[in-house]
Amino acid sequence: MNTFFLAGHAKLPQGMAARNLYDSITITLELDQKYGVIIDASCTLATEHGREFIRQLLRGYSLNDGLEPLIQRVKDHYKGKAGQAILAALKDVHTQYEMVLSMK
């Protein structure tokens, strides 16, 4: 297998539908081991449409290119209430990614 799995977490804001199911948002990534490209992604937003939208935003991006372009992509295209939580979860998963790289 040429991929690995990471997860990042962040608190959800009050008043969100997903908050009824979870206290935090989780973003999971399946990454290519060699290039750090996001092969697949998921998150714990309440609606399938929201989960699929985030999946499409993240797929194909290489974490080797840094976090800022990915954060900007999310800011430019996701305007929902969970925006800040999604960004925080991405920062968390990127920290996990950096730890994996440092262990190589």
pLDDT in tens, 12-59: 776 655 455 567 899 999 999 999 999 999 999 889 999 999 999 999
> What pLDDT shows up at residue 3?
96
CA 9/CA 93 separation, integer angstroms: 7
Residues spanned by the domain of 74: 3-102
How many other C-beta atoms can be found within 10 angstroms of the C-beta atom of residue 84? 14
CA 9/CA 26 separation, integer angstroms: 5
- Tens-digit pLDDT profile for residues 49-102: 999 999 999 999 999 999 999 999 999 999 988 899 999 999 999 999 999 999
Contacts of 52 (CB under 8 A, 6+ apart): none
- CATH number of the domain residue 26 falls in: 3.90.1010.10
* Domain tally, the chain: 1
The model carries a pTM of 0.88
